[in-house]
Structure 1
Amino acid sequence: MAENTDKSEAVQVTAADLPLHCPQPGAPLWARHPRVFLDVLKEGEATCPYCSARYVFTGERPKGHH
């Protein structure tokens, strides 16, 4: 997953990024906030309630998720 430096752009995530949480490992210090887990599979996207970063799920869903 690429670092999201432009908060207006959605961050694309795949099954390898699950369980998805924000901030992501390696986030710059200014982007740190309490870790929150996001359910990106439910609607195909999720927005962080702290920093408004938007995540969009792409690719194949993991087995067992609908």
Structure 2
Amino acid sequence: MTQLKENTQKHIEVEAGDLPLHCPMPSMLKWNAHPRVFLPIEAKGEALCPYCGTKYVLKGGPVGHGH
């Protein structure tokens, strides 16, 4: 069973399995805290939610670069 997390954390690391990335994430306790917005994290390896300011960082960096 997935444990829900309070979405008060402002820096979250995500993995490739979390893509396509959107905020709020399904595992967040207040999943409906603001409208769902998809975040383009693949190219830069990080993204900032325009609604709540949460910064997402992709573990391993940008997708498809140098591997």
C-alpha RMSD of the superposition: 2.5
Length-normalised TM-score, structure 2: 0.71
- Per-residue CA distance 1:18-65 (angstroms, 9 max, x = gap): 000000013233871000000111111000000000000013766xx4
Give 5+ residue unaligned stretches, structure 1.
Answer: none
Contact 2:45 2:62 (C-alpha < 8 Å) held by counterparts: no
What is aligned with 2:59?
58
The structure richer in helix per residue is 1
Contact 2:44 2:61 (C-alpha < 8 Å) held by counterparts: no
Moved over 6 A (4+): none
Q: Size of the alignment, in residue pairs? A: 61
Identity, % of aligned pairs?
51
Length-normalised TM-score, structure 1: 0.72
- 26 and 14 in structure 1: CA distance in 2 versus 1, 3 angstrom threshold: closer
Give 5+ residue unaligned stretches, structure 2.
Answer: none
In the alignment, the residues of structure 1 paired with residue 61 and residue 17 of structure 2 have an alpha-carbon distance, to the nearest angstrom, of 10
